[in-house]
Chain A
Amino acid sequence: MGLSGSGKSTLLRCINRIHDPTSGKVTVAGIDVTSLDRRGLERLRRQKFGMVFQRFALFPHRTVIGNVEYGLEIRGVPARERRERALQVLELVGLAGWENRRPDELSGGMQQRVGLARALAVDPDILLMDEAFSALDPLIKREMQDELLTLQSRMQKTIVFITHDLDEALKLGDRIAVLRDGRIEQIGTPEEIISRPASDYVAAFTAGVDRSKVLTASSVMMPPDPVIRPKDGPHAALQRMRRHGISSIFMVDNDGKLLGLVSASDARAAADRGESSLINVLNKDVSTVHEDDALRDVFGFGNGTSWPLAVVDGEGKLRGVLVKGAILASLSHPPDSWNKQLQQPVGRDQHAAL
């Protein structure tokens, strides 16, 4: 991801050497791309790459299916076989029945589906997508993003996706490289980019982002202590709550699995009744969220339920505690209390520039 002129399209084209890098080395699956001769390069492009372009770059003299067949045609795949394969891929991208149309008869979104189908028809290991959705209407764009994610969950290919749209990068990317003036400012997961920007530039860039979409429960939660165990009695629980200044406490078993919540008033009542166990006052109906849940979803959860929320992993183990105040703090602009130690403060004027 980067703004225009940051070198992102150039970098992409260096990967399959449509642009020759002036210095440096590109290695794809152990092959030094920069040292290949013309034939070697052609072979590599046929074997490894499919490319999708911002302005679709469909061949205007070919029909939709003629476009999709192109990559197979130049490999010498027999006509019947490539037609069959092309029809399959068109079906995959939702364009069955459109194969004999001309590209200019199609809407932008459909044209890009053809572009995607053309790239997928050769079953490439690596899909290079150059601002593939930037020329589309916002609505169609979102639809294509969702479909790409669905396709990807099935295909599991390596996709290098270029965009100038941070939201798009955060939505699609497993790992994001932020480019500026031909340099990589930071590489990391969407969450790392947002919560631990490596430079002022990245921090300023990400300041306007809807953090609730990117940050997950695990990045904002507090450590899950203190907790109590089933063997602990009301007095031990009350003492721990008092020491930490909290009004309720989670109970976990010896494996760390969440059992429930005990409030201070219930613990006090149990103590007054002289009970030695908290079993009777344990509230097992506790709202939990998964550690990978986006904060936006967590907030919906929190409405009408009691705080704090328990954050659990896939096995039901308690990983942390969400407190309303901490979430609100994390959603405001950086720097925040929860990651102050990891980043430099960003000046006010830099915020204003955005």
Chain B
Amino acid sequence: MLPFELPIAGWVEGVVDFLLSHFQPAFRAGSTFVFTIVDFLTSVLLAVPPLLMILIWTLISWKLAGIGVAAFTLAGLLVVDNVGLWTPTLETFALILSAEVIVISLGIPLGIVAAQNDAVDRVLRPFLDFMQTMPAFVYLIPAVMFFGLGLVPGVMATVVFALPPLVRLTNLAIRQVPNDLVEAGESFGSTPLQLLMKVQLPVAKPTIMAGINQSIMLALSMVVIAAMIGAGGIGAEVLRGIQRLEIGRGFVAGLAVVILAIILDRVTQSLGQQAQAPKGG
């Protein structure tokens, strides 16, 4: 054994202090930017009358996932509205949507780079392991220190948690594109970009869609944890139920999360299946 304790805790605090003292304006700006977007999204979603919104969701899920999912969407959302959780559910949806936009715009490019470069893949892998397995509560605190209380650290914590599966599955999906398809693309003189856009990504699309689906599900699992730092939404309802020992209230809020999760899962899954259908030219 070492005669002293490794000062890991001290290092981490040092890094956080350094970042805070040197990059505070950057975090502020980022925070304001993300808040503006989520807030705007929420107000747009809430501006639509609930019944009309439920109808729109039903039509979308009918178009994308079929009659069964549409029926579930209609019934589920009517229940959500009926128990008075419409506003927090939409707030949660806006939070997840924003987090997911960030996750997709970071995760897919990272996955592509990792698929094409073994060194990047090797470096990235431990970071992804770290992000995925480090208990979420641990980075709630630095998230609050960087971005303050409220929506934004909730979005950021959700991003950290939901990003790894998309990076991994994008990487895997592109590596699994059959070699002879890549050779076929190359043999016609495709540029690397053409190869990526016209062969690798289209063939990898179903698996990448599965990655997006996974990251949405993980994001939903962060809802309650994010509520602990003031992200609001249904998570806050669940927390309130727990804190006041109102078991029924907590259950109803939990049910709303499940309904939202099932709708998002089925709809994104069917998007993945549609990705397999071919197109002309």
Contact = CB atoms under 8 A, between A and B. Distances in A.
11 contacts: A13-B183, A41-B189, A45-B186, A45-B189, A49-B187, A53-B180, A54-B180, A57-B183, A60-B276, A66-B281, A70-B185
Contacts of B276: 60-61
Given A57-B178, A61-B202, A45 B187 contact: yes
Q: Which of B183, B184, B199, B279 has the largest number of chain A CB atoms within 10 A?
A: B184
B203 A57 contact: no
Contact of B278 (A57, A61, A118, A128): A61
Contact of A65 (B181, B186, B202, B280): B280
A122 B187 CA distance: 11
Interface of B: 178, 180-181, 183-191, 194, 198-199, 202-203, 205, 276, 278-281
B199 A46 contact: no
A74 B192 CA distance: 11
Interface residues of A, number: 40
Closest 7 A/B residue pairs (Cβ): A45-B189, A46-B189, A51-B187, A57-B180, A71-B188, A61-B202, A57-B184
Contact of A53 (B183, B205, B278): B183
Interface of A: 13, 16, 18, 41-47, 49-51, 53-55, 57-63, 65-66, 69-71, 73-75, 79, 82-83, 100, 102-103, 118, 122, 128
Given A66-B280, A69-B281, A70-B198, A59 B189 contact: no
A65 B189 CA distance: 19
A45 B205 CA distance: 27
Nearest to A51: B187
Given A61-B205, A73-B198, A74-B190, A79 B281 contact: yes
Contacts of B198: 70, 73-74
Nearest to A72: B188
Given A47-B189, A60-B278, A61-B276, 8 more contacts: A46-B188, A49-B189, A51-B188, A54-B180, A59-B278, A62-B279, A65-B280, A74-B190
A43 B189 CA distance: 6
Q: Which of B185, B187, B191, B276 has the largest number of chain A CB atoms within 10 A?
A: B187
Contact of A74 (B181, B189, B205): B189
A29 to B, nearest CB: 15
Nearest to A16: B187
A320 B198 CA distance: 60
Contacts of B190: 42, 74
A33 to B, nearest CB: 13
